[in-house]
Chain A
Amino acid sequence: MDPIIEIFKKGVESSQCDQKDICMVTDIAYHPEVTDYLGMDLFHTSRGRAIPFATGMKLANPRLKLAVFIGDLATLGGNHFVHAGRRNMDIHVICINHYHYKKVGGEYAPGVFPRVPLSPYGSFDEPLNIPHLARSCGAVYVARWTLLHANQLSHAIAESLRKTGFSVVDVISNEPDILDFYFQHSEIKNGEDTLNVKIVPDGKIIVGQFVDRERPNFIDSYNEQMTKVLGDKFVKIEV
């Protein structure tokens, strides 16, 4: 099983959420047997669109907890990420931040600088600071860990699932055989300002829990506004 799935399973178990209520929505393919392994439904949607798919699900059935696995959020799903954060939609994003798209191979992702030259001439684009983007958009929980930090990562996933609101766990997840690279190049700085956690060539990968705060989530704000305008006529969305 994919190491991130094993870590996610531990996170779900320690979050004490009912597995049946959790639904995985992804924009990348996972081994389909994870549904049995995790005991939950899985929707593999179109590239970059897992967040809005999960948004519709959440609003139509607020009992569900949506674990949204996205692979290349900063490109195809970037706008959905920004707006789900702005709304503080109650979904839990696990951003699988590869150094490159390992399943396709060759292209470089905007999330991080490529350790290996991925286009014939390498990547010169500025990398995107995902934790900072998440915080700026209004996420209530933001953490980043590498696959090396399996315990912290499963703990972060559990924390994220316990939050109500838009939570983001940035998983630096290349091939598991470079754990030594993470050991050499990562540095734990819990509570660090997300402005300082950008991944830069030759710099340390800053990991830790960066944001944990409260904001009214979309369903709360929706209920509040509709009740204000419509009074008793409005039946609140019950979570």
Chain B
Amino acid sequence: MKETNLAVLTGSHDLTGSQACAEGGLSAGCRFLGYYPIFPSFDIVERFAERFSDVKGVLIQMEDEISALAAVLGASWTGKKAMTVTSGPGFAQMAEHIGLGVMLETPCVIVDVQRDGTSEGSPSAPGGGDIMMARWGSHGDYEVIALSPNSPQEMFDMTVKAFSLSEKYRTPVILITDTYVSNLNEAVHIPDAKDIQIHTRKYYKGKREDYLPFQYDAKDLVPPMVDVGKGYRFHVTGLTHDERGYPVMDEKCQEWNVHRLVQKIRIFAEDIVDFEEEQTDDADVIVVSYGAVSRDVIHAVHQVREEGIRAGSLRIKTIWPFPEKKITQLAKKATHLIVPENNFGQICLEVERCARGRAETHYLYHASSRIGQSDDIVKLIKKVMKK
């Protein structure tokens, strides 16, 4: 059987979120997994390990998460699609190389199965506190893409999408999930290989001697790539660099370099942003949610609708870039925006910012122990609607 046929297990399966994530990676063409074991990301590694020989993949347990992501970046430059999986404390270690990945414009996927923090936190409890870290974790200015699935099916779909986006925009993409979704067992449909849309990195096609590693297309601001060891004699560095990849320490180059890294995501943010709306057209109150918590929101909205409250739901699938325009637009229509989060208010402030005072924003702490219940969301909806 061909490698692609073995990689894509077309059909319906009963999978956990973790297994679906590993299958998503394999279906997207991931052939390198570098990791350091941390609970609760084991299951993704386990599934990859069961399947890697089907697709001539390589996996390595590195000495820590710093090196796991470093190895992934190195592997990606050989032309292989590469990923790493981790959880909060490991994600903190990876911060350094998220920055290097952005600076070297290296496609790769980082899966963060959030557990309750802070620090070592509560490893088995589903966490939600890494949202802002995914955005701002590494030093310096950069834009990041982070996706937030809420079911095993989305763990599959969004892992594929994460690879696609990382290749298209030449940047690390973070799949930010939690123990709840990764442990969830549901039906997952894996499409035919030909129906899986994967964007592959743009390769340089000109003369070898003319190759400049950071000469970008004005169209998408993304420079074409070459694989290492093909005789292009190129230089890349984490230092501020010009289009030759040579370090240049001046303000002009700093702006040329970093401004583009930011702009290549910002300009195309609306193409990347993805969300799901339900009954927002006539809604007075809209619950804005993401990840595991969003599963409870749908129940709450349905329940209060039956009681005559015009409620709606906006589920954010792409946390970063943030769906700013959508929130602003909804804030013009609705009176209240409720943001239930399994953290002490990270996306809530973003929603409030984007609402620009046009709707009142309410934060709700929907603790990990409450995931699976929607009574607190119902209660707050009723309270703000004074019913």
Contacts and interface: CB of A to CB of B under 8 A. Distances in A.
Interface of A: 20-21, 23, 25, 29, 32, 34-36, 39-46, 49, 51-61, 63-64, 79-80, 82-83, 226, 230, 233-235, 237
A151 B324 CA distance: 63
B8 interface: no
Nearest to B242: A32
A55 B62 CA distance: 9
Interface in B52-78: 53-54, 56, 58, 60, 62-64, 66-68, 70-78
B5 to A, nearest CB: 15
A39 B239 CA distance: 21
Contact of A57 (B53, B74, B100): B74
A56 B82 contact: yes
Contacts of B245: 32
Contact of B97 (A34, A46, A61): A46
A44 B68 CA distance: 17
B386 interface: no
What are the nearest 6 A-B pairs in CB distance?
A56-B71, A56-B74, A52-B67, A60-B75, A44-B237, A61-B78
B61 to A, nearest CB: 10
Contacts of A61: 78-80, 227-229
Nearest to B232: A41
A32 B238 CA distance: 12
Given A43-B236, A79-B63, A55 B53 contact: no
B372 to A, nearest CB: 39
Contacts, number: 140
Interface string B202-233: 00000000000000000000000001111111
B75 to A, nearest CB: 4
Given A60-B31, A235-B56, 12 more contacts: A25-B74, A29-B237, A32-B247, A41-B229, A44-B236, A45-B238, A52-B71, A55-B60, A56-B73, A56-B74, A61-B79, A83-B67
B244 interface: yes
A34 B80 CA distance: 26
Contacts of B100: 45-46, 49
Interface string B88-108: 000000001101100010000
A29 B74 contact: no
A21 B229 CA distance: 5
Given A44-B239, A56-B73, A60-B82, A79 B228 contact: no
Contact of A53 (B58, B74, B232): B74
A59 B231 CA distance: 19
Contacts of A82: 63
Contacts of A230: 53
A196 to B, nearest CB: 29
Contacts of B73: 45, 53, 56
B34 interface: yes
A61 B96 CA distance: 24
A29 B70 CA distance: 17
Given A32-B247, A45-B100, A60-B82, A53 B70 contact: yes
Contacts of A25: 74
Contact of A49 (B66, B230, B232): B66
A69 B101 CA distance: 20
Contacts of A79: 63-64, 67
A48 to B, nearest CB: 9
B240 to A, nearest CB: 11
A46 B70 contact: yes
Contacts of A226: 53
A230 B231 CA distance: 36
Contact of B74 (A39, A52, A234, A235): A52
Contacts of A43: 74, 77, 104, 228, 236-237
A60 B62 contact: no
B13 interface: no
B222 to A, nearest CB: 19
B246 interface: yes
B235 interface: yes
A54 B62 CA distance: 12
A185 to B, nearest CB: 34
B234 interface: yes
Contact of B32 (A42, A54, A56): A56
